[in-house]
Amino acid sequence: MVDTLKQALELKRELLKPKRGDKFTTDFPYAGMHICDVEVGSKWIVVKPLYGKKKKIKYPIAKGRNILKNLYWLEAKCEAYTKYCVGETAYNSETQEWYYTVKPKYKKLPKRWREEYDYR
């Protein structure tokens, strides 16, 4: 899942402000998360799963943009949560226990976590 987080954050412009003619591959909520090719047209956003026997889906441009925006913010929130609230762990083989190498800073996300991921 870490790879998909980085991939979604690298596609920030395509997910938040898709333009006509954009083509990219990303995880997409298509009856579960599937790797899909996404093509943005002038009236439709077409999603084609790369694997399996699923058919392509056409979304109207407004609904498709909303889905892509929500996908980006979901991935950004997951990454921010692991950054601020989980901390780094390691396994000690001698005592056979997990321990924190870096303690978590917060129990929940800070109020201004979105500023780091905002598109402007």
pLDDT value of residue 119:
58
Query: Mean per-residue pLDDT for 16-45?
Result: 90
Closest Cα to residue 20, out of 56, 63, 61, 73? Answer: 61
pLDDT at position 61 is: 95
Q: Which residue has the higher pLDDT, 42 or 97?
A: 42
Give the C-alpha distances (Å, rounded to integers) separating 106 from 81, 89, 95, 109: 9, 15, 27, 7
Question: How many folded domains does the chain comprise?
Answer: 1
39-96 per-position pLDDT tens digit: 999 999 999 998 888 899 999 999 999 999 999 998 888 888 888 887 777 788 888 8
Q: What is the pLDDT of residue 52?
A: 82
More confident residue, 19 or 104: 19
Range of the domain at 78: 2-116
